[in-house]
Structure 1
Amino acid sequence: MSTLDPHHHDDDSMLETIIVPRTHDLGDGFEVRRALPHKDRRMVGPFVFLDQMGPHVFQPGRGIDVRPHPHIGLATVTYLLSGEISHRDSLGTVQDIKPGEVNWMTAGKGIVHSERTGPAPRAAGSILSGLQCWVALPKAKEEIDPGFIHLGTEALPTIEGDGAHARIIAGDYFGKRSPVPVASPMFYVDLVLQPGARLTMPAEYPEQALYVVEGSLDLGRDGVFGAGQLVVLKPGASLTLGAAGGAGARVMLLGGEPMDGPRYLTWNFVSSSEDRIEQAKEDWRARRFADVPGETEFIPLPDLPGRPVRYP
């Protein structure tokens, strides 16, 4: 745990909020930690959703099977640390994703996709670990045509030195730009720190956060943070990150410009308009979304109480 009380910061602290995610069991002991949205912080830049999956050991013959389900108004970002997932969507995309690669799916006015363990890793057994984020689209792009892009590890820029290795998954950071077609100013970075390594996280965007995936992170006077914590920085804060202890650390850096107004979120739908979400729910109930070629299953619309949740 952090050595910092998240509710009692001194004026010199660089930190605004500390989030310790709840753990959800999705079945068969496959756990996810949901850092965003949280009651203390709904969004960081355009990031409205952040899940850490696993790590989970699948025995031979087992795997994940997320049946076809819809999205609107967002882009999904899948990034694995170990294992493999097979993605299929209503555009006809079939794409396996492996560690260090990125799947960026723009839902726009509507897309449907499934995520499953493919035949080879299912037969052999696997260890699945990774992160999935949702990035809200700006109002002008919420209803664009859906799209999908996969980029291999070699396509993503990196910086390296003094025991630190950073891969720019999406957006601009550390003077490097990912080729992922982001819709608003943002950054998403996979940072690995060797024991004793230090790196400064510059104040490049108004909203910035870091998520500790593995190991422990030393933030100097602000304390030491263990895996599974989301640390939100104060606006304009620059921070020196160090790997605490002898094992090193792995951290996701994320954030961007604030969104152009609040967003509503219900189930898998994100929009600046409550009415648009209600329409998406009705469209899914009535099976008006496009199908995923080769898939016959789907996730029915759950019983959703009340109106969509407004963020922030």
Structure 2
Amino acid sequence: MRPLDLTARPRRNRHSAGIRALVRETVLTPDDLLLPVFLHDDADDVPLTSMPGTTRWSIPGLVAEVGRAAALGIRGVVLFPKVEEADKSADGAEAANPDGLVPRAIAAIKDAHPDVLVVTDVALDPYSSAGHDGIVGPDGRVLNDETVEVLVRQALTHARAGADVVAPSDMMDGRVGAIRAGLDGEGFTTTSIMAYTAKYASAFYGPFRGALDSAPKDGDKKGYQMDPGNAREALREYHLDVAEGADAVMVKPAGPYLDVIRRIAEVSTLPVAAYQVSGEYLMLKAASAAGWLDEREVILETLTGIKRAGADVILTYFATQAAEWLTSGRG
């Protein structure tokens, strides 16, 4: 057969593993990943049935897991506590308890692994008897300004314990500016804020809420989390968070909102984070366990896709698994 008269043959840049590696535009590394971890005040580490492959850690177990992640090149962890029912209240006051679970966990991690970044979730849902991210008023609505006061106290409690980054996930208006002012007012000028800028009212959070027993007792979170149909609104939230002093911005969930990640990344002068949430994790785990997908291939492909969309930082429950593959050369 006579060859086609082609000057451009894109396949030349794909014909071998060497050339593909040489021209690859997006390269995933463990440096891109943050590991979300669940913890509780029990002595035992408990595998989570709602999220197979994850664990709700005791503080000693958590410290050991952080060490394992750090050895694989993961720079930081994000703490999510399961709070005892007896410690929950309408105002979520336990969130600012200096002797609470999260401050003790921060101190333990920093004592054992001082170079690991500790990121803390700032929101009231684990501490709220109502299961909402803020204080619920008599009409059933979440009160914005009253909640922000508690969030500032929570963020300060985490900073005093040694947190490197506080990550307000509540979606209250004005909380980034209030937290920045509170941190700076007490001298925590190097404590960063990673704002959940575009956190959507998503159906993909179910397994996470099961892991922390933090689902709303009544109603839903659509009055403060973003509508899944909106993208321009994410840019409005972005500009507000930047003006209020955020150091990084986040989109959550990641997979169904790659377009939002891209929109924000195109305008952002700040690092952009994205959270591959529990529902995304569970879908890939379940399909892989059933033999329908190749687990390694789909995990690395989805994480690469999130980075390609514009994320500089990816929060994922696959962090240690992915890092093992990447550091062993199998990525």
The question of a shared fold, defined as TM-score above 0.5 by the shorter chain, is answered with no
Structure with a larger share of its residues in strand: 1
The two structures have a TM-score, normalised by structure 1, of 0.29
Structure with a larger share of its residues in helix: 2
The two structures have a TM-score, normalised by structure 2, of 0.28
Rg larger for: 2
